[in-house]
Amino acid sequence: MRYLTSVETAKLVRKALKKEFPGQKFYVQGKSSVHVSWIDGPTEKQVRNVTGVYEGKAFDSSIDMQFSYSAWLLPDGTATIAGTPGSSRSMGYTQPFDTEKPHPDAERVMFCTYVFASRDTSRALVERVVAEVCKETGWDTPEIKDDTAYMSASKTIPAAYIVRDFREQNQWRIFNERLGNTSG
């Protein structure tokens, strides 16, 4: 079995994201792990659905144990999960499994990394979502700030966020859930 480094994995992740989300700019860095960031566009869940197969490590928090997944690397650079020894032999929840080779030229590989994905939101997207929620609920518009201490991955567009009012935690949660579930 061939082991792929974080740098090699980052190249495959970049290619898969470009294919799945054409026109969306992603910032993919691979050092000790792979970090993917982007502004607006697809949700984190949508991106993780693409990048998850390139993650060779997982963690079972019920027993505080890391375990691995292997993958089938297909000739076009895409991958599918091949199997895992799981964590159940150590009293964890993940059962072992192994899948059939999906293509005659598929290669079984191990991606030796975690893949982290995080989306930054622009002021325009935050304002749009806040306006929608306030219209639906009748709530007052919360304060929105540009995060000048942290510039987005592009280094040109500041990320924006909703200022949290601790007296209205439920409202803050609803704004952020909607923002996280909105493609922009």
Range 68-95 average pLDDT:
94
Residue 101 scores a pLDDT above 70: yes
| Distance in angstroms (rounded) separating the CA atoms of residues 137 and 131 | 10
- Is residue 149 very low, low, confident or very high in pLDDT (cuts 50, 70, 90)? low
Instruction: Tell me: do 148 and 127 sit in the same domain.
Output: yes
Domain count, the chain: 2
Q: Inform me whether the pLDDT recorded for 150 exceeds 70.
A: no
6 and 20 inside one domain: yes
Q: DSSP 3-state assignment of 151? A: strand
Backbone dihedral angles phi then psi of residue 20, each to the nearest 5 degrees: -75, -35
Q: Which residue has the tokens 């991106």?
A: 47
Structural domain including 154 reads 122-180
Q: What percent of the chain has pLDDT over 70?
A: 92
